[in-house]
Amino acid sequence: MSVEVKNYVTGEVEEKLYASSNTIAKGTITPYTVLKDSIPEGYDAVAVSVACSQDSEVSFYLKVAGKQVYANGLNTAGLAGLTEETLLLVKIPEKKEFEVGFTNINSTTDKTVNWRFRVRLFKK
């Protein structure tokens, strides 16, 4: 097994912070996309962290290059909340798309989710 280690310390690093508030409709069992973006050419990226309002009926999803990272989502009640961030450390390859989404299993009430999502871009 080989492991590729890159030294990004001396390179150019940029950070993108996405944030919003979205209403997730009641009974949303497939992830409702609240963010869709892609990594620019010439960069590697890492999804660093997520922060969001906590609710046991809402789950966070991250899709990278068309594949769900967390098959069953991350229940937001178990995440750090809005004051702290939960580390993700998921690599997003150059020119690949990523999506952030939420589900709401409550069958009677829409849920408002306040969230932020942090991505670091490393110049190749």
CATH number of the CATH domain containing 60: 2.60.120
**Could you tell me the residue range of the domain that residue 82 belongs to?**
13-123
Residue 4 inside a domain? The answer is: no
What are the tens digits of pLDDT across the range 74-89? 999 999 999 999 999 9
pTM of the model: 0.90
**The total number of structural domains that make up the chain:** 1
What are the tens digits of pLDDT across the range 32-53? 999 999 999 999 999 999 999 9
Neighbour-count burial of 68, counting CB atoms closer than 10 A to its CB (0-12 exposed, 13-18 middle, 19+ buried): middle
Residue 78 inside a domain? The answer is: yes
Structure tokens at 20: 């919003």
Residue 6 inside a domain? The answer is: no
For residue 23, the Cα-to-chain-centroid distance in whole angstroms is 17
